Structure 1
Amino acid sequence: MSNTHSYGPSCLLAQENTTDEEAIPKLHTGWFYSSPLPIDDPLSAAPPTGSESLRHPSRPFSPLDNSTIEKAWLECEHGKEAAEIPVGVARLHVVQLPKLLMSPIYWSPVHDIAAVIRGTWFYRDTLLPIEPTVANQLEVGYQELHPWSQTWNDEVNSAIEVGAAGEEKITHVLWPPEAKKGKQRQVGMHNTDPKYAAKHFYREAAMEGSLNSEPAAESNISTRKYATSHVIYVDTRAAFILKPTLQPSEYFGRRPLQEIKRGRTVGIPVIRGFSWKTWDKLNPSKKTKPATKAEEQAPRTGVAEAAKLDICKACRPSEERPEVKDLVLVIHGIGQKLSERVEAFHFTHAINSFRRAVNVELNSKVLKTVLRDGLSGIMVLPVNWRSSLSFEEGGPMEEGDKGHGDFSLRDITPLTIPAVRSLISDVMLDIPFYMSHHKPKMIEAVISEANRVYRLWTQNNPKFHEGGGRVHLIAHSLGSAMAMEVLSKQPVDVPCLSLQGHLNRSCFDFKTTNLFFAGSPAGFFLLLDKANLVPRKGLKKIGAEDDHDERVTQDAGKLGCLAVDNIYNIIAANDPIAYRLNSTVDTRYSLTLKDARVPSSTVGIFASLGNAIKSVTPGVVAPSELPIGQVAKTPMNARLPSQVEMAVHDFTREELAEKKFMLLNDNGQIDWFLSSGGGPLEFQYWDMLGAHSSYWKNPDFLRMVVIEIGRRPGKHYALPNMIAVKKPGHR
């Protein structure tokens, strides 16, 4: 496929010229958004904490998005009051018309609501849109003077011959005097309210969304930009805004039009209509090679309509990529209440960065050797269940409690050390809340938010089910305990999703394929309930042979009997909240397994696959102990057990335990440890402060998630370096 734009009739970047003297030339609008992040850049950094979108640079939508938004905007002229247009590479944001605001689709806005601008006139040297009020005044003069006509061209040439006096006559006052508003002020061109301007002067009106809920005050002479300026329209597209000291003057002998015709720049040069060809020249791509490849690998969604458009190939790369088949929902743990006051702690920012890192990882040549054919991308979305919950009411009031005091957490909190108490309330109290009568409320919040996000996803990607789309969960901290609670009651066969029905609050609307625990206290909650991790009966897991064996499986309803194909429990070495899960399956068998380490992304994990990169074997030696570039040797077979050991060994019990582990995870184990920094300078008690929140930035964790989701399913396709290894003396 050619990446070169044709700029012809089928190209969205093309310009059209009119030959009709009387007809107003077609206006090529340019749609921009004011945002801290370019929505088409998968390597964008996390947004700053500022909340005023208009302070951020204006960025153009892609040619395809620009065309789609403009089409929807013009349809509003014919009675369609509102529309929502998905935009961006992965269709994660939506433009609201006629509000002219852009917001995320799948999560609550976190200072990332952006004002949208419909540009009509642009600064020539940057091609950024001119302020709508000024652009509309330029358009008024343009339509009044007809600078596209031969008549106007003759007047310009005549003015140059006459001199300064002639140039004075063809200048146009940008802002008409207050006493002479006349008809111009009745057509709404001075008003940037979308509905008002749309009604009177729709197709040529420049517009801009506002983040302020209160209506803007009527513009006046003191707040207008270029309030005392005049305009000279040179030709069909070009014009110059002149301040008083640059305007034509016979008295001072100023002749700006003559200078302009000689190729000099006088005043502020502006042009009518947006040109993608010019934009590409003024703003050449600064993306690095990894960024470009990551954007190519970014999941493309919601492109069915784009495929129907008769446009050049360079304008529509998105529909060339298959629909996303793997959706990852990430459930956060404790501490998200703190993010309402401290922006840096917001879970959404972490997951947005994690999603961008996934795009980069998928582009790795090494990983492509083990990822399954047809993997079209992995979409990662946050499940912000905590934001809608409040426990300040202290719980439901029972009939017998009416004689007792009605108080909340705020009432019983002393005023001393407020910063520390507030930190504890926002972070640590989620755990005791979960262990109280609030638990059902929290579980319901997780289910509702996950189903809400999933429902939106299926609405925007209707082919997800038809193409065999899979859903995976990553649950962090307390979120893992809640995910375990939900999936223990989750039915094996999920009812068909009805997008018109009420939001399901009792179970997930999807089947979970892979479940990743990160920094999980799930083992502790299983201990409290005296429960075990047990494979679910009848899951129909690929490659499973014993999923109906009642000796190793159970039905829904028992805590720890999860409706998932694979469970992964990833533990940061110094994370004080994380607990093991291997022992909750079978204590004796788990003692025979070596501690498995997540293979290092810097050392590599594919030595067994043609030595694509160097690797280590989990449990044999820590990745940090193996020099980079050295291949770990296959461990020697342990000595054979003696006849006495053989006589007392319970092989039947061990066989059943091994079957359980294989049903719970294709690799025959559940726990993996992330390597710490190690070395003599490591201080565990200092490292533990950040260990619990470090998973999203850990490259080893990232790579493991991508590989286990992206590889072919089934135990026969488990990577050798991920398979469980037994300690010496055990077989």
Structure 2
Amino acid sequence: MKVPPLPHITPRWFYATDIPITKPFKYNPTARATKFIPFTTGDSDRIENAYHNSKPVNVNEDGLFTVDLHKKIMSPVYWTGPGYEVRRGIWFNDNNPVPDLIGEQIEDAFKKYRPDLHDKVPSIRLKSEKQLFQEKYGNWPYSQFDDLSDLDKILHFQSKDEGVLLNEGGVPKIVIDNLPGSKSVFGYVVKRGYIDEEEDEKDEKKQTKKKVKKENEKKESASKKVGDPIDETEGSSETGDSTNVLDSIKNAKLVHFDYTTLLNETNKMFQSIMENDFANNSLDYNNDYDREIDHLVLCVHGIGQALSSKYASINFAHDCNQFRQLIKKEFILNNPDKDDKENNDNNNSKVQVLPIIWRHDIKFDRILPDSKLPKLASLSVDADSPIRKVTADVLLDILLYYEPKYHEQMLQCVANYANEIYKKFLSNNPNFKGKVSLVGHSLGSAIVLDILHRQSNKKVLDFEVNNFFSLGSPNGIFKLIRGEQILPSMKTENYKNKNAVTPAINSIYNIFYSTDPVGYRIEPLIHNDWSDVKPAEGEPTTGKVPPEIKDPIALKRVQMLNPTGRVDWVLKTGSLDMFGVASHIQYLSDPKVARILLKELNRQ
């Protein structure tokens, strides 16, 4: 008699979000991950197709993460970040995938004994995940005890697609078989196949959203009258985003924090990033991993990035992820054809934003072996004051930037990362023919400006830079102290003044908040006549020549650095930012900044 084929199951792939396996700094996980999210159906299918040849697969929004199928880890493609466990879901406990080394044993037993065909199936002993891991990979990395992973189990099949895992010496099988109701009180109930609860609810949610949207539109239409003033905040995601920065500062606990506790709390920060920045609903914008990209924007962080390995309140990759989402939202909100669902381009900003995270690679304590000088850490005061610890981390980058040894390290590190990311991006997007722009925040803008100056004489970047967006930049004061002007590239104009920075750039935008203590103007360094001209307010426009500018050279230089005829733009901030702390760190969460970038990229 021919044996019927196995019941078909399409494995569903998942990734953990609560506890990373690896982090970008010294880290040893103590416990197993317990929170798992399913990949989108498309990503899961692509991972499954690549599973047997173990080729890496780019996944999630815009393919920004890659799955290493040999190590079963998902990590960022373009930046250094935490790595998370990946599971191939066939057997599930409470609809969560059991660890692969356990699930594989259950599936082997299912294929061997076929409980879908036979009522009487013997109990099967399963090796612990810990033992199998040690046999296959070496040392077990988790110190915290986990019953499911650490102990051998006895598998009792209860039906054609369900079983229960018990510890050895536990409740006898005959008792389990004859007790009514759920068996979860005795062990782990496992079921074959994933139930996609979100897919079941999706159609119902879509209908509800449409109904609510129509009702709101009717209410708005009825409440508005001809001649009423226009609410400038309407249709903007500004509300909430900017206040989140203030909330994060209030919640940062920089005054009453325990150093070790906050280090451990990075798990919670990373979990929030994974579940919010890259949640599957982000794909509602139709910007998937193979979308068309016209503008690649690389962002360089500034002061304080050393904090991201210590304090849960600061993380530049997260800032860039939010900025990418904000650009998409602003593009859709301001696109007159956004309701035309037939054309995916109407929901595609065609902008990709990626971080350049360089601070961890700068070894300030590296000195020559025969040096008699102490390490930098030896000079730090061992104090319990959190303010002192934070201040030391934040100010260190600026204080050491113009020390020749570290200055060169920073420039080379950022340039190398930029080239590496660009190369990876071309590999993943072979049809990319667009333009590259750089965003520099705080000290990052100083690094970018110096790299672009070198680029005008010697190619240090493997690509041409179209735009440079300088956010909250100290370049003005830095160059003034060094007695340097900022002038158009030598390739376009010949200057006798050697004390000048000449960035190889088509357009530079120096954007700062009026309350930002780190942000300075640079137009007066282009030509002194601009000293009497106030910075432009709001979003860039090609306007009239300021009446204070009499010298045509002053105007020409600025126009060569930016076709709009202005380089400095000031943004207003709320009255709550008394000390300028919030304004300095909120650029990448401000819809105004996202709109400026979108407008200027599309202008070209």
Confirm or deny a common fold (TM above 0.5).
Answer: yes
Unaligned runs of 5+ in 1: 1-18, 39-48, 77-82, 157-169, 177-184, 197-208, 304-320, 495-505, 539-547, 600-604, 606-616, 620-634, 642-648, 714-731
Distance 1:121 1:392 in 2: 50
Which residue does 1:454 correspond to in 2?
A: 422
CA contact (8 A) 1:53 1:115 kept: no
Alignment of 1:264-663 (within 5 A): 270-274=190-194, 280-281=199-200, 295-297=283-285, 299-301=287-289, 303=290, 321=291, 323-366=292-335, 376-394=349-367, 396=368, 405-416=372-383, 419-437=386-404, 438-464=406-432, 468-491=433-456, 507-536=460-489, 548=492, 550=493, 559-589=500-530, 591=532, 593-599=533-539, 653=551, 655-663=552-560
Distance 2:129 2:384 in 1: 56
Which residue does 1:86 correspond to in 2?
A: 58
Distance 2:476 2:203 in 1: 53
CA offset digits 1:141-193 (Å, max 9, x no partner): 322323444xx3xxx4xxxxxxxxxxxxx1531437xxxxxxxx7xx999654
Which residue does 2:51 correspond to in 1?
A: 73
The alignment's TM-score, normalised by the length of structure 2, stands at: 0.73
Distance 1:528 1:113 in 2: 43
Larger radius of gyration: 1
Cα distance change of structure 1 residues 32 and 416 upon mapping to structure 2, 3 Å threshold: closer
| 1:692 match: secondary structure | helix
Which residue does 1:673 correspond to in 2?
A: 570
Alignment RMSD: 4.3
CA contact (8 A) 1:585 1:657 kept: yes
CA offset digits 1:91-128 (Å, max 9, x no partner): 1111112110111111111xx311011122234xx533
Cα distance change of structure 1 residues 558 and 511 upon mapping to structure 2, 3 Å threshold: farther
CA contact (8 A) 1:330 1:475 kept: yes
Determine whether 1:102 maps to 2:71: no
Which residue does 2:159 correspond to in 1?
A: 233
Q: Which amino acid aligns with 2:103?
A: A
Cα distance change of structure 1 residues 27 and 581 upon mapping to structure 2, 3 Å threshold: same
Deviation at 1:363, TM superposition (A): 1.5
Distance 2:497 2:42 in 1: 47
CA contact (8 A) 2:287 2:347 kept: no
Distance 1:650 1:566 in 2: 20
- Equivalent in 87, 91, 94 of residue 121 of structure 1: 91
CA contact (8 A) 1:241 1:270 kept: yes
CA offset digits 1:52-71 (Å, max 9, x no partner): 78445211112222222222
CA offset digits 1:512-548 (Å, max 9, x no partner): 111111111111222133332222255xxxxxxxxx5
| 1:677 match: secondary structure | coil
The alignment's TM-score, normalised by the length of structure 1, stands at: 0.61
CA contact (8 A) 1:443 1:482 kept: yes
CA contact (8 A) 1:472 1:514 kept: yes
Which residue does 1:181 correspond to in 2?
A: none
Q: Which amino acid aligns with 2:594?
A: L
Whichever structure has more helix as a proportion of its residues is: 2
Q: Which amino acid aligns with 1:452?
A: E
| 1:431 match: secondary structure | helix
Cα distance change of structure 1 residues 669 and 50 upon mapping to structure 2, 3 Å threshold: farther
CA offset digits 1:568-608 (Å, max 9, x no partner): 111111111211111112222452x4432225xxxxx9xxx
Tell me which moved more, 415-424 or 99-108.
415-424
Deviation at 1:242, TM superposition (A): 8.2
Deviation at 1:281, TM superposition (A): 2.2
Cα distance change of structure 1 residues 360 and 220 upon mapping to structure 2, 3 Å threshold: closer
Cα distance change of structure 1 residues 573 and 20 upon mapping to structure 2, 3 Å threshold: farther
Q: Which amino acid aligns with 1:692?
A: H
Distance 2:485 2:143 in 1: 62
Cα distance change of structure 1 residues 131 and 444 upon mapping to structure 2, 3 Å threshold: closer
Q: How many pairs are equivalent? A: 516
- Equivalent in 98, 122, 138 of residue 172 of structure 1: 122
Deviation at 1:674, TM superposition (A): 1.1
CA offset digits 1:265-308 (Å, max 9, x no partner): 666764434466x762278797989999853436433x4xxxxx
Distance 1:555 1:455 in 2: 37
Cα distance change of structure 1 residues 366 and 20 upon mapping to structure 2, 3 Å threshold: same
Cα distance change of structure 1 residues 559 and 241 upon mapping to structure 2, 3 Å threshold: same
Determine whether 1:32 maps to 2:32: no
| 2:579 match: secondary structure | helix
CA contact (8 A) 2:483 2:499 kept: no
Cα distance change of structure 1 residues 216 and 67 upon mapping to structure 2, 3 Å threshold: farther
Deviation at 1:84, TM superposition (A): 1.8
CA contact (8 A) 1:488 1:558 kept: no
| 2:511 match: secondary structure | strand
Which residue does 1:141 correspond to in 2?
A: 109
CA contact (8 A) 2:285 2:347 kept: no
Which residue does 1:545 correspond to in 2?
A: none
| 1:577 match: secondary structure | coil
Determine whether 1:58 maps to 2:58: no
Deviation at 1:330, TM superposition (A): 0.7
| 1:473 match: secondary structure | strand
Distance 1:529 1:265 in 2: 75
| 1:172 match: secondary structure | coil
Which residue does 2:231 correspond to in 1?
A: none
Deviation at 1:658, TM superposition (A): 1.9
| 1:345 match: secondary structure | coil
Distance 2:412 2:148 in 1: 55
Distance 2:35 2:148 in 1: 26
CA contact (8 A) 1:535 1:554 kept: no
Q: Which amino acid aligns with 1:513?
A: N
Cα distance change of structure 1 residues 279 and 20 upon mapping to structure 2, 3 Å threshold: farther
Distance 2:549 2:523 in 1: 19
| 1:658 match: secondary structure | helix
Distance 1:284 1:246 in 2: 44
Which residue does 1:610 correspond to in 2?
A: none
Deviation at 1:32, TM superposition (A): 1.0
Percent of residue pairs bearing the same amino acid type: 26
Alignment of 1:238-257 (within 5 A): 238-241=161-164, 248=174, 255=178
CA contact (8 A) 1:598 1:618 kept: no
Which residue does 2:268 correspond to in 1?
A: none
Deviation at 1:51, TM superposition (A): 6.8
CA offset digits 1:201-256 (Å, max 9, x no partner): xxxxxxxx99x86499999999447x46632233xxx224387779556xx9x756
